Chains A and B, each alone.
Chain A
Amino acid sequence: MNEGLGGKRYPEVRVEVDPARVRAFAHAVGEREGFVPPTFATVPELAGLAQVIADPELALDFSRVVHVEQSYEWRRPLRVGDVLRCRPRIEAVRTRGDTGFLTIVSEIVNAEGEVVVVGRCTLAERGR
C-alpha cells in the first residue's frame, strides 16, 4: 500500500435511505422495525469506500484484507428518506511488520449539510 496517501479525499457519493433497504437491513441485523438501525450507516459508508479500495494509487490487495476495527459516532439518528452524501478521506496508511493498516474516515452528511454520522474503518492488508 502507498503510505503517502494519508489525508487524501475522495469525491462524495450520494445514497438515499430507502425504506425497503432499511427493512432488509433491520431484518439482517435482527433489529425491529420502526426506525433505521444505527449501523445502517455502513451502507453509505461502503458506497464511499468502494472508490478508496479501487484506487490504483493506493494499490490495496483487497483479497488479503480483513476488517479489524470499526467505530461510529452518531450526531443524530438516521431517518428513512434522508438523502445522504458520504465523504471518505484516508486518515492513515501504516505498516506493522508484514501487515498494512488503512484507516478511512467517512463523514456522512444529510441534504442540509449537517453531519449525521462519522464512520471510522480500519482495514488490515495481511502479508503474503
Chain B
Amino acid sequence: MLEAHHLVKRFYGTAVVDDVSFALRPGEVTGYLGPNGSGKTTTVRMLTGLIEPTSGSVTFRGTRIGDDLIAFRRRLGYVPEEPHLYPFLSGREYLELVGRLRELPESLLRAKIPAMLASLGIGDAAAQSIGSYSKGMKQKVLICAALLHDPDLVIFDEPESGLDVGTALVLRHLVRALAARGKAILYSSHVLESVEKVCEKVIVLHRGRVVADASVQHLRTVMARGSLEEVFSELVLNEDPERTAADLATLVSAR
C-alpha cells in the first residue's frame, strides 16, 4: 500500500535518514524501531508528506504521494510524536475542526466524536479546553483525530507516550483490530514490549540506516535471542546497558 524507496534526508549536509526502503501492506502492523536520533520521526514525516526527502520517494498505491498529496492524506491517519494542538479549543471542538476539514458529514461527527472520546475515557473532559489537558489526554485526542475518517493507512509515532496502562492496552488491541480490517499500520515506538505484541514485522533503524527488516519471529530465530529486546540490544546498542547504568549511578552520586 505504502512504499518508501531509497529515502535520504540530509540536514546541513548530514544524512539523518540514509537509503531507507520498506513497504507497508494492508492488514499488517509494521513496527519501526531505533534509538533516539536514529531517524524514525524524520522518516515518518517524509512518509506523511510533512517534509520532502532529499532523494528517494514515497508511493501510495503506486503513485508518488507528492503528485496528489491531498488524495493521499484523505486516506492517511497520523498520530504525531509531539501533541501540538490548539490550546483554546476543547477536545470536541478540535475533533469537529478536523472532521469538517476532512468533509465528514455533521451527523457522523455528532455520533462519532462523543463516542470515541468516551471510549478512551475523556468523555467528561470533552468540553474542557485542551490547554488544561494532561499529556495522555492530548494523546487520546490525537488518536481520535487520526482515526475519525476511517483511514486506510495509519502511522503511529510514539502513540503510547503519556497514556495510562489501561489505555495503552486498549490501543494495542485497537491496532490489531484495525489491521484485521485491512488497514496498513506503521507503529513507531520505543516500547519494545508493545511492538513485540502488536507487530508482525519490524524495521530497525540505526544511525539513519535500516539494520533489520523482518518478522519478529524470524529475527528472534536468526539472531538466536529470546526476545525482541535482546535482538534490539544486539543490533543497535554498542555498549553494555548494565555497565552504562552503573557508570551513570556513579556520576549521580559524585559530589
Chains A and B bind each other: no
> Which residues of A are at the interface with B, using a C-beta cutoff of 8 A?
none
> Which residues of B are at the interface with A, using a C-beta cutoff of 8 A?
none
